[in-house]
Amino acid sequence: MTTPPARPVGGTVRAFGGATMGTTWSVKAVLPATTDLLALEAMVQRALDTVVAEMSPWEPLSDLSRYNRAAPGTWTQLPAAMAAVLRRAIEVAERSHGAFDPTLGALTELWGFGPRPFSGAPPPAGDIMPLRDAMGWTRLTLDGDALLQPGGVRLDLNGIAKGFGVDQAATALDRAGVKSYLVEVGGELRGVGAKPDGQPWWVELERPPPKGLAANDAEKTVVALHDLSVATSGDYRRFFDHDGRRYAHTLDPATGAPTTHATVSVTVLAKDCMSADAWATALTVMSPDAALAFAAEHDLAALIVSGRSDGLEERLSPALRAMLD
């Protein structure tokens, strides 16, 4: 990827990190030697802890869990940040014609990808249909930051919250006066500024492991994150195997079950990581051809990886090809 030269900046690259959302986070930042790394690390950790406290289904006292337990017909006042995330989720749901849906909480738990204990076997079809019929992003009504519980709706923001966490970590660094950094949460990234030698933050786009498929010898795709974010959704990240079949964590809202098409992973680049995360989730629900066509139509910079008998096939959307030229 070609990139304009950047001015060298003062300081050295220093690294720190921690744990969040069942994974890890890390930051590489250009900082003066006098910077208090522990204080900066604590600021980022607090920002990420707030996202968990508001939007984690694994936290019984989170605002998301509180809404999911709310009685039908009642309103739940959401924190401003969570309401903003939900508004973005609804927007992506509408534009993707429901491929992205933030109301899959009950189905996510039914399939063993939530906080409840799981039997290790696919649920009976008779258990899926009632939950599928009760969900749906069109049932969500936001009035300011208050959200109506129509009855039976359980939010699941896992397809967008991690990306938002990256954005919040970046905001914490911005407020601390950090001008150049690469922040990462569970493989999702945002890069700002340049390194001391003037080079941008180069990152390799994530590719699925070749397990079960022939190795892919295609050239690696490397991009420079100039005030840019990247997120990947892949069926190899969370799954379970049963009777010789793999069930991935990506659920198709139309069926209430894991997707069955050939899409293995989708990586999306966007200005903010929340959007990149949500669009990567939405495109993963689609078939490879549909995802590529949708990305082209909506000017999304996307890398779509699908499986075939002889290995992996990687296809770039026009917007991503333009970025790499």
- Cβ atoms within 10 Å of 214's Cβ, excluding its own: 12
Query: Do 128 and 109 contact (CB within 8 A), yes or no?
Result: no
- Residue 16 token pair: 């720190």
- Cβ atoms within 10 Å of 187's Cβ, excluding its own: 16
Residue type, 301: A
Q: What would the 3-class secondary structure string for the chain be?
A: CCCCCCCCCCCEEEEEEEEECCEEEEEEEEECCCCCHHHHHHHHHHHHHHHHHHHCCCCCCCHHHHHHCCCCCEEEECCHHHHHHHHHHHHHHHHCCCCCCCCEHHHHHHCCCCCCCCCCCCCCHHHHHHHHHHCCHHHCCEECCEEEECCCCECCCCCCHHHHHHHHHHHHHHHCCCCCEEEEECCEEEEECCCCCCCCCEEECCCCCCCCCCCCCCCCCEEECCCEEEEEEECCCCEEEECCEEEECCEECCCCEECCCCEEEEEEEECCHHHHHHHHHHHHHCCHHHHHHHHHHCCCEEEEEEEECCEEEEEECHHHHHHHC
- Cβ atoms within 10 Å of 22's Cβ, excluding its own: 11
Residue 216 has a pLDDT of 47
- Residue 284 token pair: 């993963």
The Cα 38–Cα 36 span in angstroms is 6
The Cα 107–Cα 257 span in angstroms is 8
Residue 219 has a pLDDT of 58
Residue 209 has a pLDDT of 64
Return per-residue pLDDT of the chain as tens, 325 residues: 444 444 445 689 999 999 999 999 999 999 999 999 999 999 999 999 999 999 999 999 999 999 999 999 999 999 999 999 999 999 999 999 999 999 999 999 998 888 877 777 888 889 999 999 999 999 999 999 999 999 999 999 999 999 999 999 999 999 999 999 999 999 999 999 999 999 999 999 877 765 544 444 455 788 999 999 999 998 666 666 766 677 777 899 999 988 888 888 999 999 999 999 999 999 999 999 999 999 999 999 999 998 877 778 899 999 999 998 7
Annotation: CATH topology of 200-325 = T-fold (3.10.520)
| Domains of the chain by residue range | 10-57+158-194, 72-149, 200-325
CA distances from residue 139 to 56, 86, 98, 235 in whole angstroms, order as listed = 21, 13, 12, 27
Q: Which CATH superfamily is domain 72-149 in?
A: ApbE-like superfamily (1.10.3980.10)
- The β-bridge partners of 231 are 268
The Cα 189–Cα 178 span in angstroms is 16
